[in-house]
Each structure stands twice: as structure tokens, then as C-alpha cells.
Structure 1
Amino acid sequence: MKNKLVKSLRYVILAAVLIFVTIQSYLHAAIGGKDYASIHALCPYGALESLYSLIFNGTFIQKIFSSTFILLGLTLILALIFRRSFCGLICPFGTIQELFGKLGKKLFKKRFELPKKIDNPLRYLKYVVLFVTLYYGWKTAGLWMSPYDPWAAYGHVIEGPVALIEEFPVGSILLLVTIIGSLLYDRFFCKYLCPMGAFYGILSKVSPSKITRDENTCVNCGLCNKNCPANIKVSEMKTIKSAECLNCQSCIFSCPKKNTLKFKFLGKGIAPLTVLVIVVSIFFGGIGITKLTNVYQTTPAPVTSSKTLNPEEIKGYMTIQEVATALKMDIGELYKKLNIPTTVPKETKLKDVKSFVPDFEVETARESLK
């Protein structure tokens, strides 16, 4: 009974996080970034990409705010203490995969598994993605991965298919591949492509927590294997410390023999409900504390005439007037520098100038203002 409660609570948390992030990112895409967080500001991976720039230049890369680093810090703490618990208990992109996974199970009446000869090598692909994206992210001092990122594409779905494909050409395809893959295979993106999951997996190897199986009480029913989204053969192991384990607790929920499967931290058993409460407390408690202390920032400070911005800090959601104010530049001169006809209203956001000037690009505009 208690396991059913924890399982339900897990779904509630996953759904709540997904709904919140979806609403925020869609409002950001539809209305603008002054009041609503972008998908990048709500994803810890951007902090890894921005780490080099922060250390050596003292600045965040475009679209990254303090929230991203706080989320990274909190998820790192979780990974070190409770392994990949962020992946299994909170991650909204994981939730999307689970939703389509449940739909796929209803459609096909089963879940599929790739042959080991294909599955095992593919699992290393996410580590390649991790190192490649970090290398180019640090080298270019920008969100190099963004056009290839299915999560970023998801956050901009509201903009429509044409804009989506233009801004996220590969990311849009990978989002579709992830959805189709999730219909057939559990946690498709998590297993094969997620760089953040790869990073947490590396950290989880030094975590003092693990799941243990009591061979004396195990009845070898195989339910743990069947319910593991990472397809770990739990029933064949005495200790589960695989980097693939999401710590979703599904194997424990499904086990018919009480205490046969246990989550242990430093050798002491911890009930699934306790694990869930601690994980949620660390993650959301950390966000709450940093919000109260005004450290957690998901949107930029308002543009005022008292502060001059660098061209690199110009955002697509800013209006032409706001850009002129931020740069302390005459608005007529700004129109000339950006090659924008004066018939374009000054209240137009930079990202919307394209509807008046088809070849206008915000990135090009930044360069022309340097």
C-alpha cells in the first residue's frame, strides 16, 4: 500500500514539474523573456556549457542565468548522494518519455528491448554527446548544443513547425525521434543520448548509495526487470550500482516480497517514501532558499537607462527601443546600424523584426553593434 502511495507521489511530482516548465517556456516563447523563464534557464545542462565562460570570463553565456547553475549544483548533490535520482524522480524530459512509453505499451501491449549487441554500444553514445557538446560549448562560449537539443526544441514548439525547424533543425528531428523511440523503448533518450544523464551516471559511481537484492527472499519473478526503465537485470544482481540506474525506485515498487529489494545509503536501508521526501526537499528546498535570497534568477534584470549593456547582452525579446536605451544609442542610428526600415515600429521585438526584414538575424545584429 505504501509503495503504491510513493509511486503515485512520484508521478504527481514528475507531472507537476513538467507542467510548470512547459508553461514557463511556452510563455517565454510566446510573450518574451522579461517575465518568463526560457527552457535554457530551467535546465542544468546549460551551466555545464557555461562553466568555462564563467570561470575565465566571469560571465554567463547567452540565455544562461544563475538559476541554471543553482539547478546544476542541486542535481550534482543529488547525484552524489542518491545517484541519478533527478533523472528518475524529477526530470521533465524523462516524464515526457515515460508518458509516451505508457502510450506505447497500450498500443503495442509490450515494451521492446534492443538486442544487447546493439544496446550496449549505443549506451556509450550519450558519453560522446556529453564530451562533444562540452568541448564545443566551451570553445565557442555559447549554447552550441541548442540547435541540436530536443529539449530546447520542445520549449519552442509553440512557435510552430517552420520556426522550430529553422531554429532547431536537428533538435526538432531528435525530439521526434525521442517521442517515437519512447513509444517503443523505455526512456529512449535517457539511455542513449542524454549528456546530462551521462554526467550524473559518472558521478553516481562514487555515490555511497545503492539498491541491494536479498537472494534468500527473492522468488525470481522478474517483475523488477520488467519494470526497470533502464532495462537493468536487477534479478541477476546482488547489488545494483549501475550508472544506468535512474533511482526511480520502480524495481522496489514492483517487488512482491517485502524488503527483498532495498535502497541503502552508507549501508543503511531507506524506505522509498523517505528517499522521495529527501530528494524533493533538497531540490525544491534549495530552489526556495535561493529564491528567497534573490540568488535564483531565471530572467534578466529590467532594461533601464542607468545601465549600459554590451552588444553581446542584447536579447531577442528586447524591443528596438529597449536596445537603443540599453546601448545609450540614438534610435535613428540604431535603425541604420541594423539596416532596419524606420517603418518597423520601435516596439517590435528583435526576434520579430524578421517578419519585416526576412534576412534579419539577432546574432548578426549583435555583431553589427560591436
Structure 2
Amino acid sequence: MKKNHQHSPYVQPARLIVQLAFLAFATFAAWRHQVLGGGPNGSASVDALCPFGGLEALFKFVSTGEFIQRLNTSDFVLLGGTIALALIVGRYFCAWICPLGTLQELARKIGQKFFRKVQITLPAMIDQPLRWLKYVVLAWALYFTWKTGTLIIRPYDPWAAYAHGFAGWDEVWKEFSVGASILIGSLVIGVFVDRVFCKYLCPLGAFLGITSKLGLFSIKRNCDGCLSCNKCEKTCPVGIKIESMPVVRSAECIGCLTCTTTCPTGKKGSTDEGKTFLLPAIAGRQVKPALIGWLGLAIFLGMIGTAQITGYWRTQPASITAAVTTAGVLDAQAIRGYMTLEEVSKTYGLELDKLYKELGLSEQKVPASSKCKEIGKLLGLSEAEFDTQKVRDAVAKLQSSGK
């Protein structure tokens, strides 16, 4: 038999450190954006630091060469990184990097620490149908985002709600009431049920699950040496029936390696010391769990580092004065949501009252100091009814008429 190499005591502590580091970075980035704002002189928004944003932006970018508002090339880099991870080391992003996944895992640790007697396992007849919900959410989000060219899922995004928490509860509740409710609900339920959002609602998890099925990663089990102790299944956060599978290639597997590091076989002092029974594998070749951790980190950070070196990593729009059309005028499509109506008027050399007239607005309801992205909220309209694109269209029309 091969030598045992799965029982490193450092894998799970190391994973927790990686998780907390990414959560801290994402939280700092969210706070910084609220302090500095967006734009060329501001800080990256949470939307520009989301791999799912790359998937949402894909259709519009391919068809028109333009980005959906709030997104940039950074989204494509992060999407590429998560896809590379899924193909090589499975849903590594979900278990090692995703800050929302980390919050859920921390909630679960609290439950296991203080509420051990109130831990819930949903029956299969409820659990299995619910797992299909995330694929429905994925299809819905992509279809309507690609159709409308706006981030349809944004008001329902629990991470967006978390990231805007630094702006104050009033703003969060006005813009992200559903997302905030999902965030709070998933964390409260998560105290008693493992990764409830990941299992049932996450569209990125659904996409990465499909992708990972095409990849190289699996968990290999030696059926003959299995003790049938069920520890691997009891500790699996997504409830995979590991004992019934010689090879685990489930789309639900998040690559946390908890099963391999809790398997009691082969440990020092046991009767089967030196034998391997449950191991991660790449292309069928069993490897150390620690290698999965280091390899995944190298792939993800390596892609970001390469993008930064090559100049492809961009989280914010370039200066608007650089956006000149072939006709020698500023491109109206360069207008961003962080700009006020007064700034738009001055930058594009348009009379403010004519801009108001073209938009059908009154300065009493919408002051000139209002940011383009805030106009819809001031009017009591949704983003689909009034967004920054309407300001762009109005400016383009005024430019073409020479007014």
C-alpha cells in the first residue's frame, strides 16, 4: 500500500487562515470604497472584485465591447481564476477564498460550539430538491442580466449587502433589503445548518459545480480498507454520501478536504498505520491535501499577479477625459454612476437646464449634486427604470443635436 500522507494537522488551520485573510481583505476593500467612493480617483467597488461579475458581463462585452456598469476587466480575471481552480483543484474558491462562504462557516462553528444539541440535518426529500434552486438562480441571473445589460441580481446579493454595511443600515435597507435579509437569514440558519446559502442559493457555486465536473479534481476512497465509521460524511459541510462512492466527483464538493483530514484510517498508532484510504486526487493521482491548498492559492494569486503585471487588472474606469470619440468629442458612454449631474454638465460642456429638460427631471426633486446612480432612488424608481445609462443617452442626444 502507499504511504499515508493525508493526516497533516495543519491543513484545516491553514485553510482557516487563508479564509480569514481573504475575508479581511474583502471587508477592507468594501470599507475603502465607501470612504473614497468610485471613479478613477476612488476605490474598487465590491462588484469589480467579484468573479460572478465576469460571468454577468460576458455577453455584453462580447457583443458590444462594453462593460456593464460597475464592472471591469478585474471581473474577468477573477472569473478566469475560479474556472482554473475548478478545473484543477475543484471548487477551491468556495472553501478557501469566498468571503461569504467563510462567514457561513464561522456561523456554523459558533453553532457547533454553543448549540451542539440543536444541529439540523434536512431530510433528503427536502434537501435534494432545494439544491436545484441555485441552478435556477444562475439561469435567471444570467438570462436577465444579459438581456437588460444591468446587474439584475445585485439587490438580492447578500455579499453586496454586507459590503455596503459601512454606508449605514438605512442605505443598506433601501438598496439591499432582500440581499440583507438573505445574508442575515443564511447566517442565522447557518448556525444550525452547514453552508445553507452555498448549498441552495449561490449562483457562482452552481456554475463552479458544473465546471468542476469537467475538471481533474476528485476524492479517492479505498473501499476495502474503509472502517465505515461515517466520520467523513458527518463532517462534510455539504452532506455528500462519501461512503457510497469509490470516487467523489460531486458538483456539490467544495474541496474543503475536511473528509480527508478527519478520516481515522492510517493514523500513527493505528492497526493500518501507513495505509491510505481517503485522499484528494488530481487526474486520478492521489496527492497530499496540503498540496491542494498551496496549488490553489498559487493558481488564484498567480492569475491576479499576472494580470496586474500585464496591465489587464483594472477595477476602476479610466479618466473620463481620455474617452474621446473619433469625432473628437467626449464619449457619453464614459459617464459613470459616481458623477453628479453638475459634473456631467461641466465635463461635457452642456447647459444644466437643458440636461434636466432632456432627462425630464426637476432640480427640486433631483439636486445638481445628485450622483447619476442615485437619481432612480430619489425618484422612487428601480435601477431597471432609471439608471446611469439614461444620463448617457441624454448627453449623447444633446451632443448630436449640438445643444
The residue that corresponds to 1:301 in the other structure is 318
The answer for the alignment partner of 1:12 in structure 2 is 17
Contact between 1:335 and 1:342, CA under 8 Å: does it hold in 2? no
Equivalent position to 2:210, from 202, 207, 214? 202
Amino acid at match of 1:14: Q
Matches within 5 A, 1:63-78: 63-78=70-85
Verify: 1:255 aligned to 2:263, yes or no: yes
Q: Report the equivalent of 2:401.
A: none
Stretches of structure 2 that go unaligned for 5 or more consecutive residues are 1-5, 267-275, 398-403
**Quick check: 1:148 aligned with 2:171?**
no
Name the residue aligned to 1:138.
146
Aligned mates of 1:180, 1:310 — CA distance in 2: 47
Q: In the TM superposition, what are the counterparts of 1:29-178 in structure 2 within 5 Å? A: 29-34=34-39, 35-109=42-116, 111-178=119-186
Query: What is the alpha-carbon distance in structure 2 between the residues aligned to residue 104 and residue 170 of structure 1?
Result: 24
Q: Secondary structure at the match of 2:314?
A: coil
Alignment partner, residue 318 of structure 1? 339
How many residues in Structure 1 have an aligned counterpart in Structure 2?
369
When residues 295 and 306 of structure 1 are mapped into structure 2, their CA distance, relative to the original with a 3 A threshold, is closer
Flag the 1:113–1:345 CA change in 2: closer, same or farther, 3 A: same
Alignment match of 2:27 (pick from 19, 22, 25)? 22
C-alpha distance in 1 between matches for 2:309 and 2:382? 37
Q: 1:305 to 1:293 in 2, by over 3 A?
A: closer
Q: Confirm whether residue 367 of structure 1 aligns to residue 390 of structure 2.
A: yes
Taking the TM superposition and a 5 Å limit, the aligned residue runs for 1:177-216 are: 177-216=185-224
Q: CA RMSD in A?
A: 2.7
Aligned-pair distance for 1:314? 2.8
CA shift, 1:302, in A, is 2.5
Q: Are 2:323 and 2:334, in contact at CA under 8 Å, matched by a contact in 1?
A: no
Unaligned runs of 5+ in 1: none
Please give the secondary structure, in 1, of the residue aligned with 2:280: strand
Distance 2:388 2:236 in 1: 49
Aligned to 2:293: 276
Counterpart secondary structure, 1:87: helix
Tell me which amino acid in the other structure corresponds to 1:166.
Answer: K
* Aligned counterparts of 1:306 and 1:117: Cα–Cα separation in 2: 56
Q: CA deviation at 1:267?
A: 1.9
Please tell me whether the aligned partners of residues 121 and 193 of structure 2 are also in contact (alpha carbons under 8 angstroms). yes
Identical counterparts, % of pairs: 40
Does residue 265 (structure 1) correspond to residue 282 (structure 2)? The answer is yes
| Cα distance per residue 1:308-340 (max 9 Å; x no partner) | 655554333224453234434345654665646
Please report the TM-score for the alignment, with normalisation by the length of structure 1.
0.90
Alignment counterpart, residue 220 of structure 1, candidates 194, 212, 228: 228
Give 1:125 deviation, angstroms: 0.7
Offset at 1:39? 1.1
Task: Tell me: CA distance 1:289–1:340, structure 2 relative to 1, closer, same or farther (3 Å).
Answer: farther
Q: Distance in 2 between matches of 1:162 and 1:249?
A: 40
